[in-house]
Amino acid sequence: MSVIDDIFKAYDIRGKVGTELNPEIVRVIGRALGDWLPTKGPVGVGRDMRPDSKELADALIEGLREQGRDVIDIGEVTSDMIYFAVGNYKLAGGAMITASHNPGVYNGIKFCGEGAKPIGEETGLFEIRDLAKKNQFTAAAKQGELSDKDIVEGWITHALSFIDASKLKPLKIAVDAGNGMAGKIFPELEPYVPFEVIEMYFDLDGTFPNHIANPLDPKNIVELQKTIRATKCDVGVAFDGDGDRAVLVDERGEPLSGTVMTTLLSQFFLEKYPGSTILLNAICGRVASETIEKAGGKAIRTRVGHSFIKSSMREHNAIFAGEHSGHYYFKNNYMADSGLIAALVGLYILSTSNKPLTKLVEPLRNAYVQINEANFEVKDKEGVLKYISKAFGGDGKQDWLDGLTVNFKDSWFNVRPSNTEPLLRFNAEAKTQAGLDKLVAQVTKLIESEK
Active site residues: 100
Residues 425 and 413: their CA atoms lie apart, in Å, by 11
Measured on CA atoms in the order 212, 217, 223, 227, is the torsion positive or negative?
Answer: positive
The phi, psi pair for 334, rounded to 5°, reads 60, 35
Strands 328-330 and 336-337: antiparallel
Residue 146: Cβ-neighbour burial (10 angstroms; 0-12, 13-18, 19+): middle
C-alpha 94: how far from its chain's center?
17
Would you tell me how many other CB atoms lie within 10 Å of the CB of residue 150?
Answer: 10
Question: In angstroms, rounded to a whole number, what is the distance separating the alpha carbons of residues 424 and 439?
Answer: 17
On the CB side of 175, CA atoms within 13 Å amount to 31
Q: What DSSP line would sit under 145-201, residue for residue? A: PEEE---HHHHHHHHHTTS-GGG---EEEEEE-TTSTHHHHHHHHGGGS-EEEEEES
Q: What is the DSSP secondary-structure string of 126-143?
A: HHHHHHHHHT--PPPSSP
Cα–Cα distance, 338 to 200 (Å, whole number) = 20
DSSP state of 70: -
Q: Which of 213, 164, 175, 118 is nearest to 340 (CA)?
A: 175
Distance CA 227, CA 190 (A): 19
List 398's β-bridge partners, or say none.
Answer: 406
> Distance between CA 299 and CA 290 in Å, rounded?
8
| Structural contact between residues 8 and 29, judged by C-beta atoms closer than 8 angstroms | no
The H-or-E segment that residue 248 falls in is strand 246-249
Q: Is the dihedral of CA 386, 391, 393, 395 positive or negative?
A: negative
C-alpha angle 215/178/6, rounded to 5°? Answer: 70
Give the C-alpha separation, 343 to 244, whole Å.
10
- Tell me the residue length of the chain: 451
How many Cβ atoms are within 10 Å of 206's Cβ, its own excluded? 21
